[in-house]
Structure 1
Amino acid sequence: MDVDNLLRGQSYAELKESYVIFICTQDPFGKGLPVYEFRNICTADDMLFLDDKSYKVFYNVGAYGKEDEPELSALLKYLCERQATSGFTRHIDELVEKAKRNEKFRSWYMSLNIREDDLRMAGEKIGFERGRRDGVAAGSYQAKRETAKLMQRESCSVDFIQRMTGLSEAEIKKL
């Protein structure tokens, strides 16, 4: 993100604040906190911060009852249980309901889901093809080894086995 926020020759001090926000339905770190905030810190000296103004914030919606800030607690509760308990969350709920009734928005949202599904299926297909290709290669290699073993039992020369299987002399001698 730093690269996107600075132009060539700009000072590091000119960086603007940036936040990466994760809204989690399960506690990402298992500590029961409603909010986990991270900044870049030196691993050798935890008093030395990288002043890149970059923050990562994880909201654990299930821990809304432990949040002291009432509005944030209400928002986390709304995200967890879909219960609007404050003016802000009631407003969000109204906007959500309005968006649900908006056919243009629903169509756009569905197209995003379809695109996401298409990308996931394409990724799965690529993974399947890679796995298949790797499996075929491994099977082919194993077949060459088995053939070389049989040829050794028939007292074929290492040179002949190499030419017939493509295995190296070292591989053949290991068999």
Structure 2
Amino acid sequence: MIFKRQKPRLTPITKTDVVKRLLDLAVVKVGNSDKAVLVFFDLKCPFCARLFKETEEILVDMAKRGLVTFAMCDYVVHKEAEPLHRKLRCLSEEERLKLISDVYSGKRVDAGECPEGNLRECEKAAEEVGVYGTPTILFYNFAKGRGYIHFGYMPPSDVLDAISSL
């Protein structure tokens, strides 16, 4: 029996104001394009780690070239991840991707003591577009006022296909 891999399920969304607010709340934001790729993540989520390891370099490169805005917004599912998510807000923007990379690579990271910041605001806004778990990827084209949301892990080739469909 041969199993055919299913195409990712992309749910259409048209909530431009909410997506703009999410980009403002995102703990990581690289680039400034009409096309956005926003990842909702939890630092203790194994599929978030896999998605990050496989796509972060590609998405940061695309963002630096002006092709997309790449952003990451907290959506804490695992309670033990909260201190690490708070720590992200105590770091400079340049240091945040490194901390995420270190955590997802299994390195020991001291969370320290940091104020909560807008951790819960990001989660509340995420729920306005239907986010209910991690990882979730939101693809949005501001010029067209529409986009797609995908729940769960996506291989890099599918992420690139979804971006090209914007």
Q: Could you say whether these structures have the same fold, taking a TM-score greater than 0.5 normalized by the shorter chain as the test?
A: no
The structure carrying a bigger strand percent of its residues is 2
TM score, norm. by length of structure 2: 0.19
Q: Name which one, 1 or 2, has greater alpha-carbon Rg.
A: 1
Larger relative helix fraction:
1
